[in-house]
């Protein structure tokens, strides 16, 4: 054995698959070659509600190269009566072609399979489907509150503490404001793609997803297969952000491969993704803050309304973001939902916290203004000693340290609090800040670490690297646990045959996997006698963290951060430009500073994009989206993004073997509020409706 | 009689000639990915709205999703697979790798092909929308971060690796003596 | 996308003959708009006649002292050309403000003029659209229209023309030349786009089967100090929500010559002649600029959700004219 070195974690390391990615050698799901491959093309409904009366397959089946048309009369049956890895039943959108109901515009009604993608596309576009159309309802707005209902999800829908109305009545200052965020779409750069085939009695799927254990389990349940007979691989994933679980493309590919008994690939078009890949629900939120004159909160109320489909109940828990942030005598938080004829929403980067923090952290800024207190000082004054509602201790809470470090580096202390006071040419300049937090969780995973005869080590863990740098982070973690340099460690991921593991989601992936890798690697290191011969097949140790994870004490476990933004606003045109941004985070031990910084900055860019650009517009007449493509749906481009800095304070999680908390989402939280607060500081106008478009800035005489 | 819907043609990619029969509907992007197994060029939107499919056509960056394969005959196409010199990465590739100018990697080949061309276009004196004075008398603009951002804006990166991408392009340009 | 034939034309007469042979044929230039529309099903040609090899890719002096720009000159070459940048900087700026570096390398001058609206209803073949399917209706009037037309539209269509280049060309009185089987022709860009009226599907004055061969810019001395400014919903790689091309010649504080055109407000690049009339001979100050913009925009008929464009265009016109006046005074 080499002398133990335990300094890989915390040292910048370029991505282990980086060379493959910069040379184009890394193959993503639709790029793995298969002999005899057929191409499937989904056909989506052109009505928003109703029934499929008929599918005119004959003409299409006669077209060149067409092999099959699957629809609700001839598709294999699936079973939806199960609960998947994440503890929730399936979104019935994935139960393709099981009945004639159309639940939203863009609902999958058929799959055309042909020899080439060009043939499949033309045939799919030529397929005539007759509908019995029914009136639809896609109108989401705050007024739907009256018909909304509550539903517990991973978080309870309603949490109450204290007498809210009494505390509001006793407050010297009350902020009561409504906020909205629009429908937002993940739009990973790589479209959803899957190839399915039957091989030696096993179903093999090469897919782009955030967890092959998860997707394999869902497919096994849907198709009533022995889980051991399903293998899903997903080596390189071109982004996910919550959208890459089980979706129509895998189910369609499996159906077609089963019917045709040959490999079938189904790739979503960018336009189809806007109907089939999930999205973040629009929200309508109301925040009421009651405070003493010194800014100390007496009452905190946060209500959030989201939409869901008629086939699945998804809660965007916007109000949950307020449960652990600030001390107040009375707390009331509630998430409600209303069912409409729309696609099912789903998790999207920082679910709940992203829209919720926009409302809460904007309201805090309004309160600071009303109380005449610096926004950072206001947050410090309301810093809780324990969970504001739960009463549980924090595993660690270094929010104030983030604000202090951020304020110093951003130059906050010299800030003139008056809005509209700074002008440079045609631009009004303003700065804003906001707090960030995201739950720091961990889920059971298994890993296998093998000491190879050549002195190297192979780690097998069913992790997913969707751009997070997980593959590299796990290499560093394994190297330290084994006490070897990183170049002796090879990490293999993205294969359900490696055994169950957490998905890349909830900011829990790297922590969950690192725990399992640490456990297996640590045990292997103990078991290897110095100088002992390694047999040709190597020595493998497996781990399962279920017990250790289950034994964790109940605590308030969160990452925190402080966001700072400087914006320029041209009041004559309504243009808003972010000029600089800084985020300081307390997010556990940072495994790889190079990739971590990139990911945190990426989250902040999502916040800018949310604040200024992103908005899917649902056409009430058709029920579908207007401009459902990347020209119509704007995500931030290079020119929108200034130099952004992200850094962190020391904050190792005391209960994690590596000290990790998770950084995938906290970078986004509060970022939109910091931008909106800066726009207020620049112009004196509060923007409570996202995105802050030029027309909104231009027409905002007072509140917008 | 309807015109033939396919053609036999020769594509010149990364210095190699490929002879194939293509359905006229086949885009250059699909020909590269599906027929020539050059999958480094990515399909992000298939509509010219993301830049992931950027390749160099006769040395100029182009989106391969809006170019028909049949119309690309006679042109010299360079893809991400063709920019390195053997094992030695192109300076832009090396800068992306060293400065972590990507996350998921899916937009990366397009970003790199685009950046290679940006450096060339700048060297040729082309102005951009970020150039204050486009008149030739004003001289070529320095390749500031603002110039790089504007010139690279046709390449979306949903992961949000923009900051390190701009740093990588600046570093690669610096090596060519072009950066401000 | 349906199957189609493909041929390359090597000269103009050959191109015209190939197009003439098939009523469902289309010319293929850079393809940045046509190929996209074929993918979405808006265009379904039976044959493409590739015209990129035609000898129409030169920028050269015109007889009247102006500049003649070939139809297949790429947007990139147009914007990089020293004479364009020296004599018509707003044109270079407008081209550079459009699309992306990749698309500008492909897109041609002729194609840019003929590009179709980016109205989302037009692009979605499952939606009604009078421009795509005459008589089917215009959902934008009652639906999403926050980036639709405020000038010159009708109840039948409120789509805008997406070109940036065309706005600058319109300001400088460009003329479009074309070739038909019956011989050449020329039409001022100001008359190139047809009024919307009840026939939004009829877009240009180009005769059937004609091929655009080039655009001619007359000499415009004032254009040497011209400017293009574009406002959009992100800082780059997006279509305009409003844009202005302007040239201003001020002598002794008085406007001697002015060229003003608006983008993203109408079914065509909008020459602001009413504003020009107010400006010409008037003092070059903010008051005049505002009065001129107001006069032009008095004819605006905004829809419920695009009224901001009236304010935007007024502010933008005043801002750009003021900048030009300031520079002229220096």
State pLDDT tens for residues A56-85.
999 999 999 999 999 999 999 999 999 999
Looking at domain B6-82, its CATH architecture is: Roll (3.10)
Q: What was the pLDDT predicted at A154?
A: 87
Nearest-by-CA chain C residue for B74: C53
- Residue that is written with structure tokens 């401009």 in the block: A627
Tokens of C66: 């102006």
Domain residue spans of chain C: 5-52, 222-329
Q: With 60 as the cut, is the pLDDT of residue B22 above it?
A: yes
Q: What was the pLDDT predicted at B177?
A: 74
CB pairs under 8 A between A and C: 94
Sequence-ordered list of residues with C-beta below 8 angstroms from that of A473, at least 6 positions apart, any chain = A510, A514, A591, A592, A595
User: Same domain, yes or no, for A163 and A289?
Assistant: yes
Residue A51 counted as domain residue: yes
User: Same domain, yes or no, for A201 and A59?
Assistant: yes
**Distance of alpha carbon C188 from alpha carbon A169, whole angstroms:** 70
CB A449 within 8 A of CB A482: yes
CATH of residue A519: 3.30.365.10
CATH of residue A229: 3.90.1170.50
Q: With 90 as the cut, is the pLDDT of residue A701 above it?
A: no
Cβ atoms within 10 Å, residue C327: 12
Of the residues C234, C240, C243, C293, the best mutation for testing chain A's interface (the one with the most A CB atoms within 10 Å of its CB) is C234
CB C115 within 8 A of CB C43: no
pLDDT digits (tens, 9 = 90+) for A150-204: 999 988 999 999 999 999 999 999 999 999 999 999 999 999 999 999 999 999 9
Tokens of A359: 């409302």
Q: What was the pLDDT predicted at A225?
A: 98
User: Same domain, yes or no, for A285 and A271?
Assistant: no
Q: What was the pLDDT predicted at B2?
A: 77
Please tell me if residue C44 touches chain A, with a CB cutoff of 8 Å: no
Tokens of B48: 């010219």
Nearest-by-CA chain B residue for C39: B47
* Helix/strand/coil (H/E/C) assignment for every residue in A36-72: CCEEEEEEECCCCCEEEEEEEHHHHHCCCCEEEEECC
* CA–CA min distance C299, chain B (Å): 31
Nearest-by-CA chain B residue for C32: B66
Residue A13 counted as domain residue: no
Q: With 90 as the cut, is the pLDDT of residue B176 above it?
A: no
**Residue that is last in its domain, among A523, A550, A577:** A550
Is the CB of C3 less than 8 angstroms away from the CB of B25?
A: yes
* CA–CA min distance C176, chain A (Å): 29
User: Same domain, yes or no, for A533 and A617?
Assistant: no
Q: What was the pLDDT predicted at A531?
A: 80
CB A399 within 8 A of CB A376: no
Nearest-by-CA chain A residue for B165: A638
Q: What average pLDDT does the structure give for chain A? A: 97
Residue A3 counted as domain residue: no
Tokens of A47: 């009505």
Q: With 50 as the cut, is the pLDDT of residue A704 above it?
A: no
From first to last of its 330 residues, chain C has per-residue pLDDT tens of 999 999 999 999 999 999 999 999 999 999 999 999 999 999 999 999 999 999 999 999 999 999 999 999 999 999 999 999 999 999 999 999 999 999 999 999 999 999 999 999 999 999 999 999 999 999 999 999 999 999 999 999 999 999 999 999 999 999 999 999 999 999 999 999 999 999 999 999 999 999 999 999 999 999 999 999 999 999 999 999 999 999 999 999 999 999 999 999 999 999 999 999 999 999 999 999 999 999 999 999 999 999 999 999 999 999 999 999 999 888
Query: Into how many domains does chain A fold?
Result: 3
Cβ atoms within 10 Å, residue C275: 26
* CA–CA min distance A149, chain B (Å): 34
Sheet holding A202-207, edge to edge: A66-70, A108-114, A38-44, A264-267, A193-199, A202-207, A230-233
- Give chain A's contact residues with C (Cβ, < 8 Å): 46, 118, 121-122, 125, 271, 426, 572-575, 577, 612-613, 617, 619-622, 624, 626-629, 631-632, 634, 636-640, 693-695, 698-699
* CA–CA min distance A211, chain B (Å): 15
Residue A284 counted as domain residue: yes
Q: What was the pLDDT predicted at A702?
A: 43
CATH of domain C5-52: 3.30.43.10
Q: What was the pLDDT predicted at A1?
A: 35
Residue A669 counted as domain residue: yes
Give chain B positions within 8 Å (CB) of C35: 27, 66-68
Average pLDDT in the A521-530 region?
93
Q: With 70 as the cut, is the pLDDT of residue A4 above it?
A: no
Is the CB of B158 less than 8 angstroms away from the CB of A122?
A: no
A539, exposed or middle or buried, with CB in 10 Å at 0-12, 13-18, 19+?
middle
Domain residue spans of chain B: 6-82, 91-175
Q: Which domain holds residue A496?
A: 18-28+443-550
**Distance of alpha carbon B38 from alpha carbon B40, whole angstroms:** 6
**Distance of alpha carbon A23 from alpha carbon B92, whole angstroms:** 11
The domain covering B91-175 belongs, at the CATH homologous superfamily level, to: [2Fe-2S]-binding domain (1.10.150.120)
Residue A261 counted as domain residue: yes
Residue A4 counted as domain residue: no
**Distance of alpha carbon A90 from alpha carbon C133, whole angstroms:** 40
Catalytic residue (one of A204, A218, A566, A665): A665
- Neighbours of A, requiring at least 3 CB pairs below 8 Å, are B, C
- Residue that is written with structure tokens 């106008």 in the block: A685
Peptide bond between residue B103 and the one before it cis (omega within 30 degrees of 0): no
CB A198 within 8 A of CB A184: no
pLDDT digits (tens, 9 = 90+) for B66-86: 999 999 999 999 999 999 999
Q: What was the pLDDT predicted at A593?
A: 98
Strand residues in A452-527 grouped as ranges (E)? 457-461, 489-492
Please tell me if residue C47 touches chain A, with a CB cutoff of 8 Å: no
> Facing residues of C243 across strands?
C230, C263
User: Same domain, yes or no, for A582 and A515?
Assistant: no
User: Same domain, yes or no, for A113 and A180?
Assistant: no
* CA–CA min distance B100, chain C (Å): 23
Please tell me if residue C103 touches chain A, with a CB cutoff of 8 Å: no
> Facing residues of B8 across strands?
B21
**Residue that is last in its domain, among A499, A520, A550:** A550
Of B25, B48, B124, the CB nearest to C103: B48
DSSP notation for C14-71: HHHHHHHT-TTEEEESS-TTHHHHHHHTS---SEEEE-TTSS---EEE-TTSSEEEET
CATH class for the region spanning C222-329: alpha beta
User: Same domain, yes or no, for A265 and A340?
Assistant: no
Is the CB of C241 less than 8 angstroms away from the CB of A695?
A: yes
* CA–CA min distance C168, chain B (Å): 15
Is the CB of B160 less than 8 angstroms away from the CB of A116?
A: no
Q: Is A665 annotated as catalytic?
A: yes
User: Same domain, yes or no, for A372 and A454?
Assistant: no
Q: With 90 as the cut, is the pLDDT of residue B1 above it?
A: no
Please tell me if residue B120 touches chain A, with a CB cutoff of 8 Å: no
Strand residues in A503-658 grouped as ranges (E)? 539-544, 558-569, 576-586, 617-618, 625-626, 644-648
Of the residues B51, B104, B152, the best mutation for testing chain A's interface (the one with the most A CB atoms within 10 Å of its CB) is B104
pLDDT digits (tens, 9 = 90+) for A126-157: 999 999 999 999 999 999 989 999 999 988 99
Please tell me if residue C57 touches chain B, with a CB cutoff of 8 Å: no
Residue A12 counted as domain residue: no
């Amino acid at each position: 054995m080499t002398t133990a070195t335990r300094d890989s974690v915390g040292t910048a390391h370029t991505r282990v698959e980086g060379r493959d990615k910069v040379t184009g050698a890394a193959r993503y799901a639709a790029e793995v070659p298969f002999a005899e491959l057929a191409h499937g093309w989904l056909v989506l409904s052109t009505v928003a509600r109703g029934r499929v009366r008929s599918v005119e397959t004959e003409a299409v089946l006669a077209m060149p190269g067409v092999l099959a048309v699957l629809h609700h009369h001839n598709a294999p049956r699936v079973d939806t009566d199960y609960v998947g890895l994440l503890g929730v039943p399936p979104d019935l959108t994935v139960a393709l072609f099981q009945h004639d109901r159309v639940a939203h515009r863009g609902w999958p009604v058929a799959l055309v399979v042909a020899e080439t993608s060009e043939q499949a596309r033309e045939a799919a576009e030529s397929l005539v489907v007759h509908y019995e159309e029914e009136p639809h309802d896609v109108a989401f707005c705050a007024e739907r509150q009256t018909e909304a209902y509550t539903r517990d999800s991973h978080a309870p829908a309603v949490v109450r503490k204290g007498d809210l109305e009494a505390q509001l009545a006793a407050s010297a200052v009350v902020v009561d404001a409504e906020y909205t965020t629009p429908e937002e779409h993940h739009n990973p750069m790589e479209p959803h793609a899957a190839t399915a085939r039957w091989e030696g009695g096993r179903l093999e799927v090469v897919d782009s997803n955030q967890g092959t254990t998860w997707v394999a389990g869902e497919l096994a349940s849907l198709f009533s297969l022995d889980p051991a007979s399903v293998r899903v691989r997903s080596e390189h994933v071109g982004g996910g952000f919550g959208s890459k679980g089980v979706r129509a493309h895998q189910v369609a590919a499996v159906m077609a491969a089963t019917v045709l008994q040959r490999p079938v690939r189904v790739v979503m078009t960018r336009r189809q993704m806007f109907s089939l890949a999930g999205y973040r629900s629009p929200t309508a939120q109301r925040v009421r803050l009651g405070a003493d004159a010194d800014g100390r909160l007496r009452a905190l109320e946060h209500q959030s309304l989201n939409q869901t489909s008629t086939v699945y109940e998804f809660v965007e828990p916007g109000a949950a973001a307020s449960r652990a942030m600030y001390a107040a005598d009375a707390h009331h938080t509630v998430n409600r939902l209303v069912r409409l004829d729309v696609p099912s929403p789903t998790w999207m980067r920082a679910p709940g916290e992203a829209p919720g923090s926009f409302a809460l952290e904007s309201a805090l800024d309004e309160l600071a203004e009303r109380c005449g207190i610096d926004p950072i000082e206001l947050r410090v004054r309301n810093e809780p000693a324990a969970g504001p509602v739960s009463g549980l201790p924090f595993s660690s809470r270094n929010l104030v340290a983030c604000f202090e470090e951020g304020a110093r580096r951003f130059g906050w202390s010299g800030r003139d609090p008056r809005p509209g006071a700074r002008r440079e040419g045609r631009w009004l300049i303003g700065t804003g800040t906001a707090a960030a937090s995201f739950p720091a969780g961990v889920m059971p995973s298994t890993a296998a670490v093998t000491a190879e005869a050549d002195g190297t080590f192979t780690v097998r863990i069913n992790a997913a690297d969707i751009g997070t740098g997980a593959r590299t982070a796990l290499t560093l973690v394994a190297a330290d646990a084994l006490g070897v340099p990183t170049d002796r460690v090879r990490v293999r991921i993205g294969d359900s045959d490696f055994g169950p593991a957490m998905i890349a989601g909830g900011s829990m992936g790297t922590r969950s996997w690192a725990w399992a890798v640490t456990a297996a690697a640590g045990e292997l290191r103990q078991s290897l006698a110095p100088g002992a011969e390694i047999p040709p097949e190597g020595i493998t140790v497996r781990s399962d963290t279920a017990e250790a994870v289950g034994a964790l004490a109940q605590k308030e476990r969160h990452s925190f951060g402080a966001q700072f933004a400087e914006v320029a606003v041209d009041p004559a045109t309504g243009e808003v430009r972010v000029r600089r941004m800084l985020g300081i985070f307390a997010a556990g031990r940072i495994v790889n500073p190079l990739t971590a910084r990139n990911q945190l900055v990426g989250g902040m860019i999502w916040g800018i994009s949310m604040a200024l650009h992103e908005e899917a517009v649902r056409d009430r007449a058709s029920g579908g989206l207007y401009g459902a493509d990347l020209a119509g749906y704007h995500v931030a481009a290079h020119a929108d993004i200034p130099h952004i800095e992200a850094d962190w304070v020391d904050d190792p999680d005391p209960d994690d073997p590596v000290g990790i908390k998770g950084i995938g989402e906290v970078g986004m939280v509060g970022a939109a509020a910091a931008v909106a607060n800066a726009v207020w500081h620049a112009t004196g106008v509060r923007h409570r409706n996202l995105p802050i478009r030029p027309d909104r800035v231009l027409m905002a005489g007072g509140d917008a | 009689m309807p015109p033939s819907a396919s053609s036999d043609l020769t594509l010149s990619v990364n210095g190699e000639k490929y002879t194939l029969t293509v359905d006229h509907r086949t885009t250059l992007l699909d020909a590269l990915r599906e027929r020539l197994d050059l999958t480094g060029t990515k399909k992000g939107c298939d509509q010219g709205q993301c830049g992931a499919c950027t390749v160099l056509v006769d040395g100029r960056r182009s989106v391969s999703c809006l170019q028909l394969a049949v119309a690309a005959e006679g042109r010299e196409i360079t893809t991400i697979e063709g920019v390195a010199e053997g094992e030695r990465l192109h300076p832009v590739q090396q800068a992306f790798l060293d400065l972590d100018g990507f996350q998921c990697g899916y937009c990366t080949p397009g970003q790199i092909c685009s950046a290679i061309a940006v450096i060339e276009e700048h060297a040729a004196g082309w102005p951009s929308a970020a150039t204050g004075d486009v008149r030739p008398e004003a001289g070529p603009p320095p390749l500031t971060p603002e110039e790089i951002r504007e010139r690279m804006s046709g390449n979306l990166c949903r992961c949000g690796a923009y900051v390190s991408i701009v740093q990588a392009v600046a570093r690669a340009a610096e090596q060519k003596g072009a950066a401000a | 996308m349906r199957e189609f034939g493909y041929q390359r034309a090597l000269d103009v007469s050959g191109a015209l003959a190939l197009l003439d042979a098939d009523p469902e044929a289309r010319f293929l230039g850079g393809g940045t708009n046509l190929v996209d529309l074929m993918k979405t099903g808006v265009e379904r040609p039976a044959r493409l006649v590739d015209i990129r090899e035609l000898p129409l890719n030169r920028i050269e002096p015109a007889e009247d002292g102006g500049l003649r720009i070939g139809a297949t000159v790429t947007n990139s070459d147009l914007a990089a050309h020293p004479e364009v940048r020296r004599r018509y900087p707003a044109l270079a700026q407008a081209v550079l403000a459009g699309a992306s570096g990749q698309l500008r390398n492909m897109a041609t001058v002729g194609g840019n003029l003929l590009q179709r609206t980016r109205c989302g209803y037009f692009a979605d073949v499952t939606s009604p659209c009078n421009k795509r399917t005459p008589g089917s209706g215009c959902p934008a009037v009652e639906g999403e229209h926050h980036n639709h037309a405020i000038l010159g539209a009708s109840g039948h269509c409120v789509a805008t023309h997406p070109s940036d280049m065309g706005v600058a060309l319109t300001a400088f009185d460009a003329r479009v030349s074309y070739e038909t089987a019956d011989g050449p022709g020329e039409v001022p860009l100001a008359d190139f786009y047809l009024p919307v009226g009840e026939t939004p599907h009829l877009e240009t004055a180009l005769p059937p089967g004609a091929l655009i061969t080039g655009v001619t810019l007359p000499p415009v001395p004032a254009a040497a100090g011209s400017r293009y400014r574009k406002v959009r919903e992100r800082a780059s790689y997006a279509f305009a929500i409003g844009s202005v091309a302007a040239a201003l010649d001020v002598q002794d504080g008085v406007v001697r010559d002015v060229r003003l055109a608006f983008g993203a407000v109408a079914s065509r690049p909008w020459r602001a002649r009413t504003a020009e009339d107010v400006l010409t001979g008037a003092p070059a100050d903010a008051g005049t600029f505002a009065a001129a913009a107001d006069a032009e925009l008095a004819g605006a008929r905004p829809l419920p959700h695009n009224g901001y464009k009236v304010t935007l265009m007024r502010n933008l016109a005043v801002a750009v004219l003021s900048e030009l006046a300031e520079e002229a005074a220096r």
